[in-house]
Amino acid sequence: MKSTESIDNFIKANLKESRLIHTYGVRDTAVHLAKLYGADPEKAELAALYHDSYRWLKGDEMNACIKKLGLPMRYIDNPSLAHSKIAAIMIQRDFGETDPDIINAVCFHTTGRENMSLLEKIVYLADAIEPNRDYPAVEEIRSLAEKDLDAACLMSMKNTENYVLSTGAEMDSDTTAAIKYLETER
């Protein structure tokens, strides 16, 4: 297992204080959920530390990175979704990450996807419910996360869907597929 020291140093150097606090909240929540549901806590910690590691990219710099990495143009001017895709590529290049489960947990932490692995669900949910998050339904999702990981992921995704659609924006296709998959698996 890789040491967390290099990613920890990287995020301390690049993330603003509020994002760093969020990242450590995600780490602690992911480790807790990993222990609760029988996943590898070290992998959960590493994926959580990686998850927002490239969230510091902004505007033109992020758009240039999207183009350079060959990501779909739907990520242009969409940092909320782009940062996870960028991070999934960059952790391989910059940190030598090779574990596909960790890479996918980082890649899909904002959207989820159909047939998520246990680690992917844990990182997705930890990002949504870490202690510094405050939005309608977060307490209910936190409570559900202690009893039923899939139900908590589904509730979080449906909450996101309701919010996104209320803004008039389009839902990400990965989230839509994840919701359908979780609904049919229940």
| CA-atom Rg of the chain in angstroms | 15
CB of 103 closer than 8 Å to CB of 66 = no
Mean pLDDT over 168-184 rounds to 93
Total-model pTM: 0.95
Contacts of 149 (CB under 8 A, 6+ apart): 33, 37, 118, 121, 122, 125
- The overall longest dimension of the chain from CA atoms, in Å, is 43
Domains assigned to the chain: 5-134 (1.10.3210.10)
Instruction: Please write the tens of the pLDDT for every residue from 29-88.
Output: 999 999 999 999 999 999 999 999 999 988 899 999 999 999 989 899 988 889 999 999
